[in-house]
């Protein structure tokens, strides 16, 4: 258990006004959690301090070689006033998998969750309650050794910041348009695609800009070797409903093991809907679209929640799904997951964690 020192701000910021619709990731709360790591000492000085700029040496290794990990989860205010987190232990475990891949130190799961809870409690006035909003939690770790050689750092900072957010896509729950990318690739098995680390997102920007220029919200990546099999979207995992069966690409080492993805699979199975985690080729998808068996398509993610996809483009081929409307199953999954997150529906054991 961490012994967290607390230093409250003496100049609290103004909370976002109720009639100002929240966007994603632009407003930050009054406090942040910080702790330092030194080889030989472990994690030291856990503290909650006023939110503000960091002072780092320009030679800090994170700036040069990108040794960093980040996570994303949300806090919700239930109608009865409880502050709820959704499966935060899964984020803590995934953070440690990323840390391991990037040669960064482990954080005990209970310490990660405790730090999140204590920070959220201090800034609880910032949890928005309008439909579709939440307090986004962004834990991250950076390498801080002042050194220009390539090796793992021996010092790190683990930081958590908070941001009241609305929908990630401007479309909200309206279907988004997705570009299937066949030129750039994001990750390959054995690389860092299954870690949540900045480099994957830096690698995605060129394709994302290309897709934006064509009027698409996000890129759907294909596998980096054969460029045939579907992987995931820039900020979410992807699901298809084909002939009554839910299909999502299996965890193959190059895609992020999404917590929402795992929750969707578990929910579908609990409802008796077959859910397959397997390889799915873009050809299979085009064929299903052509023969009318592609019934629904949606993305899943913490920021994106459940985001229906109404239009996919691959080269000169366009797949239109559900005439641009949200599918029945996508809606049911959205309602159930957000219902559990907001404490309106009881989810499986351990999914809802009270702060």
Q: Give me the residues that bind ligand COI (CB under 6 A), please.
A: 72, 235, 301-303
What's the CA gap between 144 and 47, in Å, rounded?
18
x/- contact string, 187-226, with ligand PLP (CB under 6 A)?
----------------------------------------
* C-beta of residue 60 within 8 angstroms of C-beta of residue 142: yes
Site for ligand PLP in 285-324 (CB under 6 A): 300-302
Among ligand PLP, ligand COI, none, what does residue 259 contact (CB within 5–8 Å per kind)?
ligand PLP
Among ligand PLP, ligand COI, none, what does residue 326 contact (CB within 5–8 Å per kind)?
none
Counted residue by residue, the chain has a size of 355
Among ligand COI, ligand PLP, none, what does residue 232 contact (CB within 5–8 Å per kind)?
ligand PLP
* C-beta of residue 84 within 8 angstroms of C-beta of residue 341: yes
Q: Least distance to ligand COI from the beta carbon of 95, Å?
A: 12
What's the CA gap between 205 and 197, in Å, rounded?
14
User: For residue 221, which of 206, 209, 204 has the smallest C-alpha distance?
Assistant: 204
* DSSP designation for 217: S
Of 46 and 301, the one with the shorter C-beta distance to ligand COI is 301
What's the CA gap between 111 and 285, in Å, rounded?
43
Residues 6+ positions from 142 with CB-CB distance below 8 Å: 56, 60, 62, 67, 68, 156, 157, 159
Listed ranges 17-25, 59-67, 154-162, 229-237: which one lies at the site for ligand PLP (CB under 6 A): 229-237
Of 302 and 338, the one with the shorter C-beta distance to ligand COI is 302
Of 133 and 260, the one with the shorter C-beta distance to ligand PLP is 260
User: For residue 205, which of 235, 163, 171 has the smallest C-alpha distance?
Assistant: 235
Q: Least distance to ligand COI from the beta carbon of 38, Å?
A: 28
Beta strands in the chain, from DSSP E residues, in sequence order: 5-6, 31-38, 42-50, 68-70, 73-77, 83-86, 134-143, 155-165, 176-181, 218-222, 230-233, 237-242, 245-249, 275-278, 294-301, 305-314, 317-320, 352-354
Please report whether residue 237 would count as binding ligand PLP according to CB under 6 A.
yes
Please report whether residue 253 would count as binding ligand PLP according to CB under 6 A.
no
Please report whether residue 260 would count as binding ligand PLP according to CB under 6 A.
yes
Among ligand COI, ligand PLP, none, what does residue 208 contact (CB within 5–8 Å per kind)?
none
Exactly one of 34, 69, 256, 267 binds ligand PLP (CB under 6 A); that residue is: 256
SS3 118: helix
Among ligand COI, ligand PLP, none, what does residue 300 contact (CB within 5–8 Å per kind)?
ligand PLP
Q: Which helix (H) or strand (E) holds 206?
A: helix 205-213
Among ligand PLP, ligand COI, none, what does residue 261 contact (CB within 5–8 Å per kind)?
ligand PLP
Residues 6+ positions from 274 with CB-CB distance below 8 Å: 244, 245, 246, 268
Placement of tokens 């309206």 in the chain: 174
Nearest position to ligand COI, beta carbon: 72
Q: Least distance to ligand PLP from the beta carbon of 2, Å?
A: 24
Of 259 and 280, the one with the shorter C-beta distance to ligand COI is 259
| Rg (alpha carbons) of the chain, rounded to whole number | 21
What's the CA gap between 42 and 325, in Å, rounded?
51
Exactly one of 50, 72, 224, 253 binds ligand PLP (CB under 6 A); that residue is: 72
Residues that bind ligand PLP (CB under 6 A): 72, 232, 235-237, 256, 258-261, 300-302
């Amino acid at each position: 258990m961490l012994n967290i020192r607390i230093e409250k701000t003496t100049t609290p910021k103004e909370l976002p006004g109720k009639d100002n619709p929240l966007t994603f990731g632009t407003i930050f709360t009054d406090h942040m959690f910080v702790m330092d790591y030194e080889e030989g000492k472990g994690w030291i000085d856990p503290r909650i301090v006023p939110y503000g700029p960091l002072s780092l040496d320009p030679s800090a290794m994170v700036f040069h070689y990108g040794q960093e990990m980040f996570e994303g989860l949300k806090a919700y205010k239930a109608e009865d006033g409880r502050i709820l987190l959704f499966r935060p232990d899964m984020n803590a475990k995934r953070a440690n998998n990323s840390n391991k891949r990037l040669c960064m130190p482990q954080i005990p799961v209970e310490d990660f969750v405790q730090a999140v809870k204590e920070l959220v409690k201090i800034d609880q006035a910032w949890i928005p309650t309008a439909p579709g909003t939440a307090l986004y939690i962004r834990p991250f770790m950076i390498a801080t050794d002042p050194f220009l050689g390539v090796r793992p750092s021996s010092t790190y900072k683990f930081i958590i910041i908070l941001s009241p957010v609305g929908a990630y896509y401007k479309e909200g729950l309206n279907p988004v348009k997705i570009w299937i990318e066949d030129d750039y690739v994001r990750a390959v098995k054995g690389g860092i695609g299954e870690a949540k680390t900045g480099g994957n997102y830096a690698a995605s920007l060129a394709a994302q800009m290309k897709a934006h220029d064509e009027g698409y919200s996000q890129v759907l990546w294909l596998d980096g070797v054969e460029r045939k099999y579907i992987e995931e979207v820039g900020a979410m995992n992807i699901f298809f409903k084909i002939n009554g069966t839910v299909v999502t690409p299996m965890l193959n080492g190059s895609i992020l093991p999404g917590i929402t993805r795992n929750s969707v699979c578990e929910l579908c199975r609990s409802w008796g809907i077959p859910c397959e985690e397997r390889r799915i080729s873009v050809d299979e998808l085009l064929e299903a679209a052509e023969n009318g068996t592609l019934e629904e398509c949606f993305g899943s993610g913490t920021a994106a929640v459940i985001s229906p996809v109404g239009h996919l483009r691959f080269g000169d081929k366009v797949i239109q799904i559900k005439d641009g409307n949200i599918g029945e199953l996508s809606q049911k999954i959205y309602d159930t997951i957000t219902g559990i997150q907001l404490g309106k529906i009881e989810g499986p054991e351990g999914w809802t964690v009270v702060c």
